[in-house]
Amino acid sequence: MTAVSDRQKLAYVNSQAADGRVNLEFETQEGMTLNMGPQHPATHGTLRIIVKLDGESVIAAEPVMGYMHRGYEKLTEVRTYPQVTTLVNRIDWLGSFANEVPFILAAEKLMEVEAPPRAQWIRTILFELSRIANISLFVGDMALHIGAMTAAFYAFRDREFVLNQIEAVTGGRFHPNFDRIGGLKDDLPKGWIADTKAAMEKIRDFCDEMDDLVTGNEIFQARTRGVGVIPADVAQQFGLSGANLRSSGVDWDLRRDQPVGLAWDQADWKVWTHPDGDSFARFWVRIQEVRESTKIVDQLLDGLPAGPIMAKVPRIIKVPEGEAWVATENPLGEMGYYVVSKGDLGPFRVKIRTASFNNVSVVPWVCRGVYVPDVVTILASLYFILGDIDR
Amino acid sequence: MGLVESGKLPKPLTSLLNTSRKYSIWIFQWGLACCAIEMGAALGSPRYDVMRLGVIPLPASPRQADLVCFSGTVTDKMVPAIRRLYDQMPDPKYVISMGSCANCGGPYWDSYSVTKGVDQVVPVDVYVPGCPPRPEALLEGIVLLQQRIGKEDMVERWKGEPLVVS
């Protein structure tokens, strides 16, 4: 073990004391305290939830975060612009490419360059592919939390088709780091378009298969219908976004409502909403989203414009002074970057708005009065990623 | 086992026990960050199918596991939990550190909240590099660990002293 300074020791003791206080508050109340996590399968890694129980029903639930805090906002201050995309890839690790795009768009906004149309279209295609890679795992994961293990295997199997396509273009299965200020690193490889169309066909089959396996399943419906209902006004008050908001009946999708230069308006697709707002609605809306994403990819591949993939940008990128905010509809919800530049090689300050942080903030509200097993289904259906919460 | 404790284990018996141990590893999946998904793909997906190597990826708790795979970024807040769960595992226990973050901090080498390497708190047997490593890389790490278990001197191992890497 390396030597630690007194200051570090003090910080450690303080953090432990903060955890202890949460426990103490809970323990002074009536009832039994149950600790879930930080190592618990239902928490996707390292979220910790302290649940106060009366018999089997939950009186109060308190999420404890910070187990995956990696200090992105501070690290961006000591990186240059091309290096930042490497970092922000890893915020939402299931749909990595989608994390780069808003940051690059914000930097482009400050530099007043615009990527050529072909780059914008390929960006949109990769964005939607990462959405499929993200949500297809959710579908299997949600079924796994209800107790159906088969669906998870199918999800991992069919997810590989999309990952292969992403890898063929970018060279990385997970973290592509492919987006550049002013365009993209490379053009599409030969034969990629036909392969991707075949993969999209397989993903549509996967969605049908999941509908047969999971959505129509009686046990699944009994466990999710009417459980964890979030009304539309509560969802808006907590700042939910993405499919969690749409499943509460709010018709709101940044891809349609807020043009940022990408090619979503060139395709014909639909924003699905569900009036119920329960766990089942969140699952159902996400499956429909995968279907719509495959449609978007198919249409964009058909109409892909020719031309360059890189605009004219200087070799050493210096972003002029200014501030820019760009948000896009990421797989988990609204993700935005507020970039402040002082004209240096790297940003002066970056504020990252991620969807999962707000999505999890609704847990204490929605978990009151439910049974313990339903906590797991609610957490699974809210669908957060720890890197996206803690950053 | 009296034979092992007395330090007089015949060689054929050692190799028999080692062979049985190395093909029945129960691996505890400690998914921490991005690598957890690749670990899930390696251990839980039909394409990479880890069970053909004689590894069972689904122990109910660390108390039933022989091998723990730390995959992802270890933060300072997480370290007490990691040490505690490692202590709960029964001997002989092995550790795979998967991904750059668990090896040395990775892209967060200058972050204020990230522990630079899980080997600061637990002894690591196999390091799998990559960010994240491909599932095949993790499988190779497991195969390397199995080779090492096969060559192990059990008497030496049971003394409770740290294992010397050969």
Interface membership of B156 toward A (CB under 8 Å): no
Inter-chain residue contact B75 with A12, CB threshold 8 Å:
no
**Partner-chain residue, chosen from A68, A174, A175, that has the shortest CB–CB distance to B75:** A68
Count the alpha carbons within 13 Å of A300 in the hemisphere toward its beta carbon. 28
Measured CA to CA, the distance from residue A391 to residue B33 in angstroms comes to 11
Distances (CA, A) of A207 to A214, A289, A293: 10, 10, 12
Inter-chain residue contact B38 with A174, CB threshold 8 Å:
yes
CA distance A101 to chain B (A): 19
Q: What is the mean pLDDT of residues A228-257?
A: 87
Measured CA to CA, the distance from residue B17 to residue A387 in angstroms comes to 42
CA distance A137 to chain B (A): 9
The full length of chain A comes to 391
Largest pairwise CA distance in chain B: 51
Inter-chain residue contact A93 with B45, CB threshold 8 Å:
no
CA distance A190 to chain B (A): 24
Interface membership of A157 toward B (CB under 8 Å): yes
What pLDDT score was predicted for residue B71? 87
Taking CA B87 as the corner, what is the angle to CA B31 and CA B115, rounded to the nearest 5 degrees?
A: 50
CA distance B107 to chain A (A): 7
Measured CA to CA, the distance from residue A97 to residue A178 in angstroms comes to 8
Interface membership of B117 toward A (CB under 8 Å): no
Inter-chain residue contact B81 with A15, CB threshold 8 Å:
no
Inter-chain residue contact A71 with B131, CB threshold 8 Å:
no
Measured CA to CA, the distance from residue B7 to residue A309 in angstroms comes to 69
Inter-chain residue contact A160 with B45, CB threshold 8 Å:
yes
Q: What is the mean pLDDT of residues B87-108?
A: 86
Contact status, residue A113 vs residue A182, Cβ threshold 8 Å: yes
pLDDT at A26 over 60: no
> A187-233: per-residue pLDDT in tens?
888 889 999 999 999 999 999 988 888 888 888 888 888 888 888 88
Interface membership of B134 toward A (CB under 8 Å): yes
Distances (CA, A) of A68 to A133, B33, B43, B130: 22, 8, 22, 19
pLDDT at A363 over 60: yes
Q: Beta B94-98 vs B67-71: how paired, if at all?
A: parallel
Q: What is the mean pLDDT of residues B151-156?
A: 75
Interface membership of A12 toward B (CB under 8 Å): yes
Q: What is the mean pLDDT of residues A160-167?
A: 89
Closest to B81 measured CA to CA, from B91, B92, B68: B68
pLDDT band at A25 (very low <50, low <70, confident <90, very high): low
What pLDDT score was predicted for residue B161? 56
Contacts of A153 in chain B (CB under 8 A): 44-46
> B128-150: per-residue pLDDT in tens?
888 888 888 888 999 999 988 88
